[in-house]
Structure formats: C-alpha cells, structure tokens
Structure 1
Amino acid sequence: MGPTAAERCFAETFVAPHWLPGGQAFWYRRQMSDGKYKFIYVDVQGKSTRPAFDHEALAVALAEHVQEQTKIDPEALPFSWIELEDSHVRFRFEEQIWRFEPVKGLSRCSGTFNQGNPTLMRRREPSAHTATSRPVTVTFINNTRSHLLLNYADHKGTVRPHGSISQGKTCFEKTYSGVCWRLEDGVSRQLRGVYRVPDKVHDTVIVDEVDVDEYLGKEGENPIGAPLGEGDVAQVQEHRKTQQDDDDGVVQSSEEDISTAPHISVRDKILWLLDEQGVESQLTEANSSEESYWNDKMIFLCPNKAFAIAWYFQEGTTTTEYWIKSYPHTQSHPKLLKDERRLAGDCPRIEQPRLFSLTLKQEIEVTDKDLFSNHYQLSHLGWAEDGSEYRFLYHGRGHKTFRILGITCAGLVRVLYEESSDTFIDIASKLYYNLLSNSNKLILASERDGYNHLYLLDLEQGKTENQITKGEWNVHMVEHIDEESNQIWVSTYGFYKDEDPYHRHLVQAKLYDTECKALTEGDGTHLWSWSPGESRQYFVDSWSRVDLPPQTVVRCLNGTMQLQVEGTSVEELRQQGWMPPERFHCLGRDGETLIYGTITKPTHFNPRRSYPVLEDIYAGPQDFSTPKSFQEAVDGNRDWREEDYVIVRIDGMGTNWRSKKFHDVCYQNLNDAGFPDRIIWITKAAESREWMDISRVGIIGSSAGGQNAASALLHFGHFYKVAVADSGCHDNSLAGIEWAEQWLGHPVNESYSQHSNVTHAAKLPDSAKLMLIAGGLDHAVSHFATMRFVQQLNKANKIYELVFLPDAGHSCGRCGYGLKRAKQFLKTNLWS
C-alpha cells in the first residue's frame, strides 16, 4: 500500500537550502533511496555540487569512537543537521557535539551547535493580532518524514486545530502579522516549533528533519515536549492573562514613545491625556459594559500631535459549542467540553476609530459613520504624511463592499477608494495591501478587471495611479517589494498561456509600469527559496508536475539559471515501475472554459479490464484541489492506489484561482460544486478510455468535500451512485463566520437553507448508496451538521450508513477505522 519505493525516493519536491554565511553556498540533504540520504554542498558562485564531506570515512570513524558492533551506514548517518566550516563538518550525536576533518578525523568538541530553523520558537505564545496587523502570506514547507499538524492560537490565546501538511507538501496560509502557529509532528505529536508571523509581505518556513529530542526537548521545563492536551490551552490562556495584567495602567501607542508628551493611556476603562505640562485630563467617561473597551495598543497620534485616533471596541456575539469526550485521561466518566466560536449570523467584533483633539482635550464627532458601519472588519492604515487625515480599511458585512476611508481632523469622512461586487470580494484568499514607506501610496490587490492583480493607489488624491500587473492570469501573493528600485516580485497562477493555469511561477513587475517578466522556466508548478540578505542574489527553484519528477536549479535574481542541483528523468522512474497520473482537460459547461483534472490508474492496471470511477472531491471555494506537483500526486493517491478504482480529481467552476467569473459560480450556489463541469469532464475522458466504467461512479470527500460528496447524490444522482461523506459541512449555518459568510453572504437567509444537504435529504435516490462519517470531537466542522442531516434522512425513510467515531476529530474518515469502513463500503457497492 502507499507510494512505491521509486516515488518515495523522488517525492521531495523542494530542495531545502541551508545557506552558509555570505549567501554564496548552501548544503541540503539529498534522498538517495527509501530512508537513505546524503549531505550535499552546493557552491552557487562556483556552479558546482559535491558531497558535503566524506560520508564513508565519517561513518567508519564514528563507529570506532562509539564502539558500535555493527557498521554505520554512510547513507543513513545518525544525525540530520550539520554545520560546515572550511574543511570540517560539525554535528550532534548522543548529546555530544562532534567535529570531523579529512586529516585529523573525528573528535569531540565544545561550544554551541545551531540546529533547526531559527524562525521557529521553542515556547508557546498567544497571538497578538490587532487591527494594526497586516495580511501576510506564509509558505510552510514540510521537509520532515511525516505529516505535520498545523494549529494556531487565537487572540484570546486558545490553541485551535487548523489542518495538516502532508510530508513533502507545501501549504500557503493567508494570515496576519502577530499570529502564532504551532507545528506538531503528525505521528509522534511532538512539537516541531512555534512560529510567530513577522510584519512583512511574505515569509517561508521550512520545517526540516531534525533530531527533535536534541533540538526541542532540552529546554528547562520542557514546555513543548508533550502532545497538545487539555492543559496546553490553559497554559496559553494563563500566559495571555499574565501579559494582560502586565499591560494594565499606562500603555502608549506603538506610534509614539511613552517617554514623551502628549500621550494617551487607558486606565479604569477611561482614556487619559497627559499633556506637555504634565497635566492629566480625562478624555472619556467610564465604559458601562464589560464587553466594551478601549484598546490601549490602538491609539495613534497625528504627526503634529494635535489630534489622535483611539479605537473603541465591543466584542460582538459568539455561539457556545459543545462536545463530549467519551474517554478523557483525567477522569473515568465522559467530560463535557465547550468553546465560544463566532458562527454565521453572529455579530463580529464592533470596531470604531474615534477622533480626539489634544489641544481642546475633547472628542470630535465623526460624520458619515454609515460609511464604516455594519462592517465585517476594519483595519488600521495610519495618518497621512502631513497629518491631515487618518486612514483605515473597511470590509463590509457580507463581503460585497470594500473601502479605504480617511477621517480629517475636522471629523469629516471621505472615501479614498471603493470597490463593490454583486457576489463577493474575496478577502479569504486574496486580501493584500501594503502602504509604501514615507508616502501616501498603497499597493492593493483587486479582481476589478476580472483577475487578481495589483494596483498602486494615490491615497492623497484618492485615485488609482497605476495598474502594476495585468493580463488573464492571477497574482497569488506578493513575495518582495524593493521601493528603491520600484520593483516587486509576485507568485502567479496562469502566467504562461500554454501551461496548466494552476502552475505557479515567479514574476517580476514594476510599481510604475505594467511590464512583467517571468523569472522561472519549466512546464510545472514552481516553489522557490531566496538566499539570505536584502540583496536576494539567488533563489533555489524547484518544480514538478504530477507526471514529472522534481527538478531543481539555482537562479540569479534576474531569473538566469546559475546551475542545476537536482533532476530525475521520467524514463528513470518508469524503469523502476512508476506509473504517473494522466493530466486531462476539456471544455466545461459553457463550451468555452477549459476544466483541468487528473486520472490515476490502479496499481495493477489492466487495459482489458473495466474499472469503476471514484472521484475524490473538494470543491471548497477558497482554493483548488487537483494535485499539480509530483508529491501531491503521490500523497493524494496513497490510500486508494491498491483499491482497483480509476481515481479522478477535477476543479470545476466555482473553485479558486481562475477568473472572477469562474469563481463567482460558487456564490450562494454550493449545491453546484462544479458538478456540471465534472460530469462533462468524466464523460469526455471515458470516451477514449474504455477501461473507465462511468455506469459505476463513486465519490468521496471530507469537510467541504464531505458536503460535496453527499450533495452529488442529492442533486446529481443520475450520474453518481455511491458516496462517502466524511466530516461534511452539511449545514453551513453551523460553520464559522469567516467561511460561511464569504460564500453564502449575510444575513443568514434562505440561501443557507437552500444550499444545505439537510434541506434536500428527501431527494436521496432510493438506489443511491451513502455513508456518513463524523467525529465526536471535530472542532473544525461540528458533527451536529451531520446529525441534522441524519435526522432529515430518517424522517424521509432513507437508507444510509452512519459511522460515528466518538473521540475522533476532523477528517476522521481519511485514516484509521474511518478509512477502513469507507474502503469496505465502496468495494461492496462499486464492485458488486
């Protein structure tokens, strides 16, 4: 079961460089075969690669020193991290630092040993996400030997599960500066590190294979050596409380030095002003509600210190969710767990920037508050250079309106930029803005021309100065901005017209032009990592496809290839038994738009046989799901390759990163899930592949894909016959506000019920075979969504199977007992 030895050998789609001082050379670990690897030294300037040291000699010397009875394998050395310096290598083994030189051999040495990613902390911390936080895209690259669990701490310090990153896979997270992410080993549940998002445009976090006991497990009280448990949340919350207690009293704005006057502080829920004469005045009355407060870190003085903006908040509303832990470790009887979460229809935190005159020592009434009322989110930008107005962003409730607003010192509100949509403005995956330093200019991402592009706004004039990028392709994220040279680097989808539009490429653009230049070449999806330093002289570029093993080169800043580092031919893998997925595309429902997907044959494929078709679906509108890289194809098919199905993965209309028109299909239309395109695609593919039996089509999915899988039987039961719906979002009125209202809008109305599987349960065909899987401790999608669906299926006297795993979490149908039951159900109903 699982990937072949050949696939495991070449599954590392990204060469993780560990740069040496000076940024002219690096080392990395090259996988030689399953479980074996060597350390490689890359001389970028000299355009050469070689082993980082004599692996054979070191293995012999190490065996002699530690008196091993068996030979140490030079391709399986007992360490995973090295330090290179001139002619010697240092490493850690058995709690000792060792030094190996070609002439002097092996010796113990003292000193420190720097191991692991320095951006990963060794302690738990809560997030510090405020309205001053700006959106940051983080690329997490899993170079470990197992999958990683990705959790985050919310603004209250509660640790929440978010998802996982498969071995060798890359995950792009749209997050905010100040947010803390927690990375755990998915097998041992040991913490790999805690990452706090920096205040920058984009960051890359490479989680490499290191000796966790050495790297993480030796700190004082060992605060992160244990799996996530109930006490973990309490510790983070206590840490947060301590921080808040320490912050009580006079706390000055981040834009003003507390040692100078005037400054404003919060005390006893009142704003106080200390003027230049040292006289303290009360600016506001005490808050009457425990849920209303001034944020002492959200006070901003204008440049001439005559005015200030102070942010006032009300918490909004949340919904209490409950779970029952059947077998808790702390007691013999079941335990009731609860949490507060903001669901669709709840009131977001109410935010209000309020204006104060520091000379008059009073608040100035702000007019036209309707321009920023009924908001989903407000975000701080700051004062204009001349202090004439304070600027902030407004995201309207329901995600149909976006504005940049300015409050003048007279309290007048003006619109500097406005954008609206009949469907939605995608802040879930495309929100990006960056205020250029010492200017009134802002870079903003927008889909206003039908694709996601960057625009340069002049906020003083309230107009668009330049469209930075343009064309029938999308900016995925901003990599770097060099304001001195007026250049910007972005990752893109669809830049090359003759390639799969989901392939990722690096592109260089200019702030005051529309000229764009691709810096990556090679028909595949690319991933890159820059050399250290502001100059970014080189970048390591790795790319692959589902039918092309990884290729890696080093490129100069202008895109010129410096040298090739890794590369495996298709022929080499085929000789080892590799059978790649097929890439296939055809026109969709409109007869104009190409729909892309993959076809994976069974491991023991016989072209004279006929096989059922099994679609693995995830039509969540926030992204696309069809694998594009070699590793994604290997990982995505590992559970089903031996099961004698033709596996198809497709991205129909309504999914992300094509045109805005393509994406808009999902709006208040989740029942659709691209099924008209999927059915056309599968039918067309089968026309030239007689071994695809489309009279036996099954479908599986988890989370949003679980909703999709069940929906396939309810609305397209003439085509799909069998479905396994795992952890499904069958009723999105129970979903988080950030997801549900982005795609279904606000208020919670008939669009929620009409696009709920619960409403349409009676439409399940009598001939359809449906299995529902749910976990009792699913904190991502409440299992009560499945139970509501079950209740209506019962009322309609429908036949189905329910697998409930009491203490299991999200996507429990993708592993363990849940996966076993799913496989059994599909075999019974697709092969009978």
Structure 2
Amino acid sequence: MKPRIDLRLRIKPGRSWAFILLLAGSEMLAQGTASDYKRSEALKEKLRDKLYNAPTAINWLPKSNRFWYLTRTRKGSEFIVVDAAKRTRQPAFDAQQVAQKLAEATGKTLDPYKLPFNTITFGKDDESVEFVAEGSVWQYGPGSVAFRKKGPFTAEVNDRRYWGEGRDETAKRTVTSPDSNWTAYVKNYNVYIKSRQTGAESQLSFDGSAGDYYANSIQWAPDSKKLVATKLRPAEKHLIHFVRSSPTDQLQPRLENREYLKPGDALPARRPQLFLVESKQHLPVSDALFNQQFSLSNLNWRADSRAFTVEYNQRGHQLYRVLEVNASTGAVRTLIEEQSKTFIDYSGKRFRYDVADGKELVWASERDGWNHLYLYDGPSGLVKKQITKGEWVVREVVHVDEPTRTILFAASGKQPGQDPYLIQYYRVKFDGTDLTALTAENANHVARFSPDFQYFTDTYSRVDLPPTTVLRSAKDGSVLMELEKADLTDWQQAGWKAPEVFTAKGRDGKTDIWGVIIRPTNFDSTRTYPVIENIYAGPHGSFVPKTFMANAFAMHELAELGFVVVQIDGMGTSNRSKAFHDVCWKNLKDAGFPDRILWLQAAARKYPSLDLNHVGIYGTSAGGQSAAGALLFHPDFYKVGVSSCGCHDNRMDKMWWNEQWMGYPIGPHYAECSNVTNAHKLQGKLMLLVGEVDDNVDPASTMQVADALIKAQKDFELVVLPGVGHSSGGDFGERKRRDFFVRHLLGVNPPAWPAPAPAAP
C-alpha cells in the first residue's frame, strides 16, 4: 500500500497545482509519522492526573453515616471525610502532620499532597486512621495514639488464575451444628455425625461409594435437628496444558495444566439428601425436577428449619427453577420456574430475595421482553404482582427493605430522550406503586448508599460530560450537598477532544444503535481518516463507555496516529430488550456486524472525513474472536484486524460462557461460527496475539486458527507472548497493534521503536 496522502485541500487563489501536490506530500499532512507517535505518547502524559476534583471510590464507614474519598486537586491528592447527617465536609486527617510524622519515622522527605498511600481505614472510634506505607502499618489519630507504627504489612499473595482448580469436595471437613452439640463429616464416602457431649459416632448414610460419594458440603438446619448433604457423582476432569517457555525460577520450560471444562464435556451430578438427627433417618430427595443439571446452587435453609431451597439451572440454559425441599418429608416443589426458547441470562440478570423467610419472593425475569421485577407468593408459587414494567430494564437491585416494603434499584432506558444505557436510580413499593426517580440528570449515575440506606453519593457523568459528585437523600433523591465538580481545564488546554456520542438505526430500521466517535487532537474535517473499531461483543454485557473516561486513554492515543476510532454496541449484546439480546443465540459470529456496518455508514454520511475504504478492527478475548471474524465474514468492509487471545472456536473455550450463548447440545452451528473452520475466507491483513499461558481462553484456540491459515496459504502475523496470560499484550502488544494499523491502513512504515533507557549503574 502506498503512503496515505490526503489531497482534499482548500485551494487558495493564486496557488498552483504543483505547489498543492508538493504540500500534500510533505510530512505536515502525512499520518502515522514519528511526530504523530510522539504526540500520541505526549497526550497520555498531558492528561494523566490532570482531571481535578473527580473522586475515586466512595467508602462509607460501617454502621455510620460518614464516608471518605480521595480526590486530586491542584495541590495534589487530598483525603476527604463527609458526615452525611451533619452535612460537613473536611480533611480526613491533618495531612501536613502525617507527612511530618511519617518523614521523621522513615527518614524520607514527604509532600503532604503526595503521601505514599491511597487508601485508609478508620478505627472503631471513626476518628483515628490506619494506612500502609513503606512496608508497615501506621496509625494516626487524636489523643495518646497520635502517631505510631503498628507493625509490618504482609501483602496477600494472589496466585491469580481465571478458573481455579475448585474446592476439594473429598477433603476431610467437620461441620459443627448451630447448637454446638454435634459435628458432621464424611467418612468412607458416607455421612457421619458425632455427639460432642458423649463422643458417640453415628453413620447416617450407607449408599455412598467411590464413584457416587457424599461431598463435604454439609449444611445444618438452624434448629440443629436436620442436615442436608450433597451426594456427588463426579465427571472426568478436562485439563488444558501449557508450556511456560521462560519461567523466572529455572532455565528449562515448565509444563502446566488447569482444570477447564469445555462445551459438551460431561458434568458432575449433585443430589441433595436430607437427614434427621434424632431418628438417624435418611430421607431421599427425588431429583426428578433437577436431573439434567448444568448447576445446582444456592442451597439455603429456611430460618425456621421447615425446608431448604436450591436453584436448578438446566443444561442448555432454557429452564431455571427455584426449588423448595420439605424438611419433614423430603418432598420437592417448584417455587419459581423460568423458561425461554433461547436462553436465560442467569449469569447477568439473576436476582432473588426471599421476604419474611419465604412468604414472598422478589424475582427478576425477562419474560415480558424486558428485565423486570416480580413479586411471588411463597406458599403457592404464583406471581402476585409485576413490580416494574415498561420498555426499559432493571440493571441492579441495590436493597430490599422488608419493613417498608420498598426496593432500591438501578435501571436504564426509562428516561425519555436519554441514551438507553445510562443508569438512573429508583425506589418502588412491592406492589409497583410509588415509583420514584432518585436521579434524573442526563448522565450515567454511579451511586454508593450508606449502611442504613438513608443517604447515597451520586457521581454522574457521560463520555462528553466530566463528573459531578453530590450527596443525596435516598428518600426522594434531593441533593443535600455538592461534593465535587470536575475541573477539565488542563485537558481542554491540551487539545483533548471529547468523544462524540452517535446513534444510527440498526438492521431492523427501527432500533437505535449507540456508539462513540473519537478523533485526534489535530483533527481536520477537510481531510479523510481511516476508521478503527474497538470491538467487544460478548453477550454478557454492553461495552461502549457511558461514564467519563478519566484514565482510559488508549483509544485517544490510537486516534493521534491519524485515525478515527469508534466503539459500538450492536445487537446481540445485553442491557436492552430480550429480542435485542437474542440475536447472539447460537450465532456468535454475528457479533452485531450488520448493525455496526450500518452505524459506520451513517456516521460517514454525516462526516465525510471518515474513510470507509480503510476500516480496521481490534479486540481481545470475545473481542478477539470478533475482530478476526470481521475479516472472515465481512471482508468487503473490514480490511485490517488485530485479534488478541481470541476464543476463535466456541468448542475450545470455557463451558459456562459458551453453552450459555451457543446452547447445548453441541451442534453444527458451533462449527459455522468458528474462525478455524472459516479461516480460508481471510482476505485482509490479520495479526494474532496470544499469551502462551492464557488460562481464560485456551491459547490452542489461536494456534488452531494459525494452523488453518497456514494450510489455506493465507498471509498473517502471529505474536506469541512468553509467560503472559489472558492479555492484550501490555505496552508491547499495544505498540505492535498500532504499528500494524499504521502500516496497513495508512501505508506508512512506522518509526523505529525507541531504544530502551540505559540500565541504572
């Protein structure tokens, strides 16, 4: 590809064509040059920590109406404490004194507005504070403990894995009854109890065996007269294997593995069994209502010990039941049943709250086409009332208040004329009356409620609106105090351009598709710019940013190289209607591309500076699958793609995520959606990045795409990241990605990588 030169210039009188062409060939109008890279790097430094008066997380004190937060002002970082009841706002402690005391103790010079910690813990008196600095825990407060070193700080070791090995359900574990008179445990595959008074041991079950044993997850009833134990028929484990080529503790590579179930694998069967302590009786529990398990979870006793409940997710995710087991008879009945012709979004929208020990239940469901709340009668299992209703969605239940029979919740799409993804907060009665908006500003709201739910902080913003933080009453949403209003002056002086929120109709010609457009700081509307889409189309959420991106600069940095960068939520993603979401079912290759392409075409009609002859795309994980899929399934539109750690074939990826959206049993649709199966269709320029020890998405998935591309004699680039897990590649991957787009969308050879800084002597 030839270097990209823009000839759409405004020609002034008296200028010759020779002059114009000479000017067009100069570096001033080129894109992807060394100066663009320098400006891209400089932008991050110009913006970082230059947004003032925008608090980090709000931290309410336990059993208190006080909270603290950290905010950056023009002085530096300041800790603030607020008393909601008294309406006071003041420094959380004397920063000058803390800096002086800590400097004396450590021998280091400290700035009170650059203290070496960013979190604090209040003491029981809500006055003294503790913090970690220089490897120790320190306490500062009034009185005799004005300042002291409490001792060394021991950091928790986090051997982070995406999917752990799981709890050993055969390990010896003793569970004490609530009245402390009994212990229960599993021995020789069966359930035993022992009197703590006499030491006498009794065997309760006799049907356990090596292949069908009782797990150690025993749960006593509150009255200590009954217990439930789960009988487990295990399935064969599925291991994925890695070679860690460059371990830090040895020269030779290391072979590693993880337990990792994939779609279609056999699953263990769990069957809760009931035991009566006094009579030593085993009451078998019929599994007729839960015998095709994907999962059996949330086993809980009723407070009065009359029954226990458990939730059953049928494999295929089209049937979900809340079951109750009678503790006197072992009889099982259905309290709630959800059915769907596509899928039940149990991982993203499940909510249940049992009122008055099960006399009523609050339940979330999409049965009317939108995610709403329902009130069930516990004894009959019948719906008493649909609590919320309308073409909008409940996003989160914050609190259920039984005495007042009210619910605090977050929702989106209810306010007319607003972006349907913007979150607002509401309260409503159990019977659906007295629905009250607690927030209303045209922005995305993030609320943090006090422990007694009488107050809440509200930080609201949009991608094009800096955040404002206020204290509100949880009764009616009235503003009690304005706490912070962000200062964007330095960003504006740096030339930062706010993302533009843009909408266009989707494939049905009716539904609005929402996204953002990000332009470089030197954007010139008379020129054209290749377009790069940042894609993540996982059905488990929606992904276009809705809050102000205070520290998310990557898309802006990429735009500085001479691109317009976009992000879009197409059909098949969540947080809209059920019909909108269902587009993904058994069809992950769709990834909303028909909507994305129409959105981009509409944007280009409005803004001719968008060059749709040069469109790139990148993404990680599910986004990596979609980025590669764009070039395979829509090669006439997407020309350059960078795919990181993609789950390229849904049969190769984790079971729980893929069977949720692609269904069970495994069918031909899995192969139809596979980037491996369709690799021969590649026409554009593709880069694959993968971490060699990725335990979120099996790295073999990327290698199988590479193998298929090689067999189809397709040219592509493969970047394997030694010792790296699930990742976009860090700084190295980011530079590779940017260079790839500059080379193939702009037709420019990117500048040489900067030499590493000299090692310290």
Q: TM-score per shorter chain, which class? A: 0.7 to 0.9
CA distance in 2, matches of 1:122, 1:784: 34
Counterpart in the other structure of 1:777 = 693
Q: Do 1:457 and 1:464's aligned partners in 2 also have CA atoms closer than 8 Å? A: yes
The structure 1 residue matched to 2:574, chosen from 649, 656, 662, is 656
Of stretches 755-764 and 312-321 in structure 1, the one that deviates more from structure 2 is 312-321
Counterpart in the other structure of 1:156 = 166
Q: Do 2:130 and 2:138's aligned partners in 1 also have CA atoms closer than 8 Å? A: yes
Q: Do 1:59 and 1:73's aligned partners in 2 also have CA atoms closer than 8 Å? A: no
How far residue 563 of structure 1 moved from its aligned partner, in angstroms, is 0.8
How far residue 93 of structure 1 moved from its aligned partner, in angstroms, is 6.7
C-alpha spacing 1:560/1:51, structure 2 compared with 1 (3 Å)? same
CA-to-aligned-CA distance 1:252-303 (integer Å, 9 cap, x gap): 46xx43416xx864332222467999876544325332x5321344345596
CA distance in 1, matches of 2:126, 2:685: 66
C-alpha spacing 1:310/1:53, structure 2 compared with 1 (3 Å)? closer
Q: Does 1:403 align with 2:345?
A: no
How far residue 304 of structure 1 moved from its aligned partner, in angstroms, is 9.8
CA distance in 1, matches of 2:141, 2:216: 55
C-alpha spacing 1:587/1:90, structure 2 compared with 1 (3 Å)? closer
The structure 1 residue matched to 2:186, chosen from 243, 266, 274, is 266
Q: Does 1:794 align with 2:713?
A: no
Indicate the SS of the match to 2:239: strand
Counterpart in the other structure of 1:257 = 179
CA-to-aligned-CA distance 1:487-527 (integer Å, 9 cap, x gap): 22112222323211111222212223344222123221111
CA-to-aligned-CA distance 1:158-183 (integer Å, 9 cap, x gap): xxxxxxxxxxxxxxxxxxxxxxxxxx
Indicate the SS of the match to 2:347: coil
Q: Do 1:42 and 1:49's aligned partners in 2 also have CA atoms closer than 8 Å? A: yes
The residue type paired with residue 166 of structure 2 is K
The structure 1 residue matched to 2:375, chosen from 456, 472, 484, is 456
CA distance in 2, matches of 1:588, 1:364: 56
C-alpha spacing 1:514/1:3, structure 2 compared with 1 (3 Å)? farther
Indicate the SS of the match to 1:759: coil
Q: Does 1:338 align with 2:257?
A: yes
Counterpart in the other structure of 1:195 = none
CA distance in 2, matches of 1:387, 1:21: 30
CA distance in 2, matches of 1:364, 1:265: 18
- 1:374-385 matched pairs, under 5 angstroms: 374-382=292-300
How far residue 63 of structure 1 moved from its aligned partner, in angstroms, is 10
The residue type paired with residue 345 of structure 2 is D
Q: How many residues align?
A: 700
Q: Do 1:317 and 1:342's aligned partners in 2 also have CA atoms closer than 8 Å? A: no
CA-to-aligned-CA distance 1:755-814 (integer Å, 9 cap, x gap): 11111112222xx1111111211111111111111222222222222122232222244x
Q: Do 1:726 and 1:811's aligned partners in 2 also have CA atoms closer than 8 Å? A: yes
C-alpha spacing 1:790/1:155, structure 2 compared with 1 (3 Å)? closer
Counterpart in the other structure of 2:632 = 714
Q: Do 1:723 and 1:771's aligned partners in 2 also have CA atoms closer than 8 Å? A: yes
The residue type paired with residue 75 of structure 1 is Y
CA distance in 2, matches of 1:796, 1:669: 24
CA distance in 2, matches of 1:718, 1:53: 61
- 1:456-605 matched pairs, under 5 angstroms: 456-531=375-450, 533=451, 535-558=452-475, 559-568=477-486, 573-605=491-523
C-alpha spacing 1:604/1:266, structure 2 compared with 1 (3 Å)? same
Counterpart in the other structure of 1:16 = 57
Q: Do 2:220 and 2:227's aligned partners in 1 also have CA atoms closer than 8 Å? A: yes
How far residue 66 of structure 1 moved from its aligned partner, in angstroms, is 7.8
CA distance in 1, matches of 2:432, 2:112: 54
Indicate the SS of the match to 2:240: strand
How far residue 109 of structure 1 moved from its aligned partner, in angstroms, is 4.3
CA distance in 1, matches of 2:108, 2:184: 71
Q: Does 1:699 align with 2:699?
A: no
C-alpha spacing 1:411/1:46, structure 2 compared with 1 (3 Å)? closer
- 1:608-619 matched pairs, under 5 angstroms: 608-619=526-537
Q: Does 1:370 align with 2:288?
A: yes
Counterpart in the other structure of 2:646 = 728
Counterpart in the other structure of 1:76 = 114
Q: Do 2:410 and 2:423's aligned partners in 1 also have CA atoms closer than 8 Å? A: yes
C-alpha spacing 1:560/1:360, structure 2 compared with 1 (3 Å)? same
Q: Do 2:358 and 2:378's aligned partners in 1 also have CA atoms closer than 8 Å? A: no
- 1:81-100 matched pairs, under 5 angstroms: none
How far residue 405 of structure 1 moved from its aligned partner, in angstroms, is 2.6
C-alpha spacing 1:691/1:277, structure 2 compared with 1 (3 Å)? closer
C-alpha spacing 1:630/1:530, structure 2 compared with 1 (3 Å)? same
In structure 1, the gaps of 5 or more residues are: 126-148, 158-239
C-alpha spacing 1:652/1:280, structure 2 compared with 1 (3 Å)? same
Q: Do 1:300 and 1:382's aligned partners in 2 also have CA atoms closer than 8 Å? A: no
Q: Do 1:14 and 1:543's aligned partners in 2 also have CA atoms closer than 8 Å? A: no
Indicate the SS of the match to 1:700: strand
CA distance in 2, matches of 1:80, 1:92: 9
Q: Does 1:349 align with 2:349?
A: no
Indicate the SS of the match to 2:715: coil
CA distance in 2, matches of 1:264, 1:89: 42
Q: Do 2:466 and 2:486's aligned partners in 1 also have CA atoms closer than 8 Å? A: yes
CA-to-aligned-CA distance 1:385-404 (integer Å, 9 cap, x gap): 77665432211001011122
C-alpha spacing 1:266/1:41, structure 2 compared with 1 (3 Å)? closer
C-alpha spacing 1:819/1:53, structure 2 compared with 1 (3 Å)? closer
- 1:166-185 matched pairs, under 5 angstroms: none
The structure 2 residue matched to 1:820, chosen from 735, 738, 745, is 735
**Per chain length, whose mean CA-contact separation is higher, i.e. which structure has more relative contact order (CA < 8 Å, sep 6+)?**
2
CA distance in 2, matches of 1:73, 1:382: 52
How far residue 684 of structure 1 moved from its aligned partner, in angstroms, is 0.2
C-alpha spacing 1:695/1:152, structure 2 compared with 1 (3 Å)? closer
Q: Do 1:11 and 1:549's aligned partners in 2 also have CA atoms closer than 8 Å? A: no
Identical pairs, percent: 37
Indicate the SS of the match to 1:819: helix
In structure 2, the gaps of 5 or more residues are: 1-40, 748-761
Counterpart in the other structure of 1:235 = none
CA distance in 2, matches of 1:12, 1:392: 47
TM-score by length of 1: 0.76
Indicate the SS of the match to 1:685: helix
CA distance in 2, matches of 1:478, 1:744: 28
The residue type paired with residue 516 of structure 1 is L
C-alpha spacing 1:606/1:485, structure 2 compared with 1 (3 Å)? same
The residue type paired with residue 31 of structure 1 is R
CA distance in 2, matches of 1:297, 1:414: 22
- 1:128-147 matched pairs, under 5 angstroms: none
Larger fraction in strand:
1
Indicate the SS of the match to 2:484: strand
How far residue 86 of structure 1 moved from its aligned partner, in angstroms, is 11
CA distance in 2, matches of 1:584, 1:322: 44
Counterpart in the other structure of 2:71 = 30
C-alpha spacing 1:822/1:625, structure 2 compared with 1 (3 Å)? same
Q: Do 2:463 and 2:546's aligned partners in 1 also have CA atoms closer than 8 Å? A: yes
CA distance in 1, matches of 2:330, 2:65: 54
How far residue 662 of structure 1 moved from its aligned partner, in angstroms, is 0.4
CA-to-aligned-CA distance 1:337-373 (integer Å, 9 cap, x gap): 1122111111223111234566765544545x33211
CA distance in 2, matches of 1:487, 1:663: 29
Q: Does 1:677 align with 2:595?
A: yes
Q: Do 1:372 and 1:396's aligned partners in 2 also have CA atoms closer than 8 Å? A: yes
The residue type paired with residue 3 of structure 1 is K
Of stretches 747-756 and 24-33 in structure 1, the one that deviates more from structure 2 is 24-33
Counterpart in the other structure of 1:131 = none
Counterpart in the other structure of 2:26 = none
Of stretches 482-491 and 411-420 in structure 1, the one that deviates more from structure 2 is 411-420
Counterpart in the other structure of 2:37 = none
Indicate the SS of the match to 1:634: coil
